[in-house]
Structure 1
Amino acid sequence: MHIVYGDSRDDRTPEIRQLEEIWDWMREVYPDTPRIIAGDYNLAPDHPAWQPLREKGAEPAITAGATTLSQTDGEYANLYDNLWFDEEVLDVTGASIVRFPDLLGMSHEEARDIVSDHASVYITLGDAEPEFVSVAPSQDSTANTRDCIDLNSSSASRLDELPNIGPARAHDIIDGRDWGAVDELVEIDGIGPARMQEIRDSGQLCQ
């Protein structure tokens, strides 16, 4: 799955909720096959939109860390990539994020240009062992996802963490730099005074 619709998390919510029906369909069509839904959902696994799928018995393999390559080497933002599976059926014994730029000795700029701007995720079943060296999320990288967001320097993926900002508006912010104050965001199509105030009140912006 690749959830790309809309400019905000609210826009993506209906598509995420639709996965509940897909989950049921998979059981109906493949009754004896363990179910896994893999994808880039543009929504973190702790978002309330996932609740209907959780109630069906699905769980995310990755619950900590981040998978989106930032423009700064070694820093990652957003936990949007995941594997949702039926924990009562699959004997999942391991799950992690593969930070391939670190493994391949690449800068994030090079990795984003020729490979992907997302790190891979995986699970292991039973006594299986991965055939590559994975780099588990570190405390430092988790802290990076909580750093304040700067309208004039943060990446599009970081800007997307703000309320009412999706991929399209994140790029509009980048194209409009330099910003003198958050109030100026009303210049962006779709951001009125109320939405701008929600962004200000989120506490996520650098002061």
Structure 2
Amino acid sequence: MDITASFDRYGRKDKQYYFAYGSNMHPAQVGTRCTAPHAVCTACLADHKLAFYGRNRVWDGGMETVVPAPGREVWGVLYELSFGDSLSLDMWGHARLDGGGVYFHYPVLLLDGAGNEHAAVLYKKDVLGKPVPPSSEYMAFIMEAARQRALPPRYLQILETMESTPARYEVPRAEKQLRGVLVEATCRECAG
């Protein structure tokens, strides 16, 4: 499937399809960052694995990304987002279209549990450096999201065995971001 075909496939040219594989899988988190996120299905990114790099100050540990890994897979949630919600999520995730943020938009083809293809974008880190394990608290949050979204048991086992370390301070630490601006920037009436 051509990566641009998702607009025609879903019949919506005013929506973006976003694949969440980390903390944005959690309904509570994505619900505070978007006004009307629609979970389309759970899906799998083939030949990649979940990895952690950099520093997540909110959770005191590494930040999630996907890296190539032949034969491995990353499961997550495919969301349909309005462009207002997509921009809000970009601001929260420090994702910039020009590549100058912590994350950039990475186009992918996914498979759902029934074997159907889905075109989407995900957030991927450009600068990796040395791997940094996530905090145990962050992994617990991701695990909670994975269970709530009913990801496959074999993938839950992979998540459960990932290395993590206890946070050195109370987490999650409040982000110093303009939360009110983000919420007001995507009002329910005009975003969707």
Q: Normalized against structure 2, the TM-score is what?
A: 0.27
